[in-house]
Amino acid sequence: MTTFLLVHGAWHNGRCWERVVPLLEAAGHRVFAPSLTGFGDKAHLLGPEVGLDTHVDDVVGLITEENLSDVVLVGHSYAGLVISSAANRISDRIAHLVHLDAMVPEDGESAVDVQPMTRQLIELAEKSESGWRVPPMPEQPAPLGLFGVTDPDDVAWLRGMLSDQPVRCLQQPVRLDNPAADAIPRTHIHNVGATPTGITRRPIPPIQPNGTAAQVWELPTGHDCMITMPGELSELLLKLP
């Protein structure tokens, strides 16, 4: 039995994994898909003080409180920053890192460094009435849709779970100063459907930090593959060594 911890990206909450969780559980595995602070069942905790460090604490806290080990830690989009910092803190509990169409940072980088267009979102938030709320990206015409989701029913479902992201999440840097974390194997899953203008993806080095060949898989869909291709995504996760 494998323990999967699925971490949602910016603006989303743990409900976005609802189509993936039962597929992994049906294969005999244990699955956690929490909402990070400020989202879903923790929406009442949203505030300007919530940042990347808060969300790293969420993940580390869940793993330690549940006494989890050999965790496959999956981070979607912004959560690539979250899982990287979490693994840095508790590397002995992580069996595998999966960057799911995710930001892949270096030590000391923030979301702006990894995805430069994020700076525009920060500037808009700072000039807004709140000074800290970053609203979700707007829906665009097909094939872009809402985070790559184009089915009308799915769009309505997704829109109902989206909420503002605190700007601090995009400003705080990751800390990747634990050499032990380099030994963790990692897999990158790229969603290669339509991509909005301004979104860039860093090339993955051919060799992982642990010295083995990089493992990069692709799904022919938009950004929110857990909604558009839950079966195919689950199959990939179940292939992990």
Say if residues 13 and 40 touch (Cβ distance below 8 Å): yes
- Rounded CA-CA distance 241/234 in Å is 14
Burial class of residue 74, CB neighbours in 10 A (0-12, 13-18, 19+): buried
> 35, 77, 84, 110: which one is catalytic?
77
Say if residues 104 and 114 touch (Cβ distance below 8 Å): yes
- Clarify whether 128 is annotated catalytic: no
Alpha-helix runs per DSSP H in the chain: 21-26, 52-65, 79-89, 111-114, 118-127, 152-159, 168-171, 225-228, 230-238
Single out the residue of 18, 1, 2, 7 nearest to residue 230, CA to CA: 18
Single out the residue of 21, 43, 60 nearest to residue 175, CA to CA: 60
Catalytic residues: 77
